[in-house]
């Protein structure tokens, strides 16, 4: 089934691992996972890709060019960006950022950025996008905030 979502219990059964091991892998960013509130969820197709790569997860980070090169590792398979404090990356200093401006997800083709409610748009390498697969070194602009996407 396409886009099947697994719970910790289901993933533990699928991988024949202890649930505590799944929690640990998710917390450490060693397995493709999304945190929703206090719960972890896993896309089965990403887990299958992860297994095919021998349990290696693609690692990436965002570098904040505006803030002395501060780095934010992308350790979850879904990262929300915006002014709202509930986002994974809070960009409240920029008045042009919407509450839920954009989202970065780890998908089969790699990390993908999606413009959500960004009133001023989301730009990759100077081009307005709705959805874009990110490449190493891409420049992302949300409002006045500039981020560099890096594979690590």
Q: In the prediction, which pLDDT does 5 show?
A: 93
Q: In the prediction, which pLDDT does 129 show?
A: 96
**Are 47 and 14 spatial neighbours (Cβ–Cβ below 8 Å)?**
yes
Low-confidence ranges of the chain (pLDDT < 70): 1-2, 56-57, 67-68
Nearest alpha-carbon partner for 106 in 38, 35, 37, 54? 35
DSSP for 52-75 reads HTTSPPP-EEEEETTTTTEEEE--
């Amino acid at each position: 089934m396409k886009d099947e979502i697994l719970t910790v219990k289901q993933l533990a059964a699928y991988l024949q691992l202890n649930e505590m091991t799944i929690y640990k892998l998710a917390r450490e960013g060693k397995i493709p996972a999304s945190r929703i509130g206090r719960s972890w969820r896993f896309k089965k197709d990403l887990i299958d890709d992860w297994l095919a790569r021998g349990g290696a997860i693609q690692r990436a980070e965002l570098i904040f060019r505006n803030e002395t090169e501060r780095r934010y590792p992308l350790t979850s398979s879904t990262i929300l960006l915006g002014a709202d404090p509930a986002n994974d990356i809070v960009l409240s200093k920029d008045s042009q950022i919407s509450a839920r401006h954009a989202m970065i997800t780890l998908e089969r083709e790699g990390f993908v950025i999606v413009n959500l409610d960004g009133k001023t748009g989301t730009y990759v390498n100077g081009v307005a996008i709705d959805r874009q697969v990110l490449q190493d070194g891409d420049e992302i602009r949300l409002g006045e905030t500039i981020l560099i996407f890096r594979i690590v």
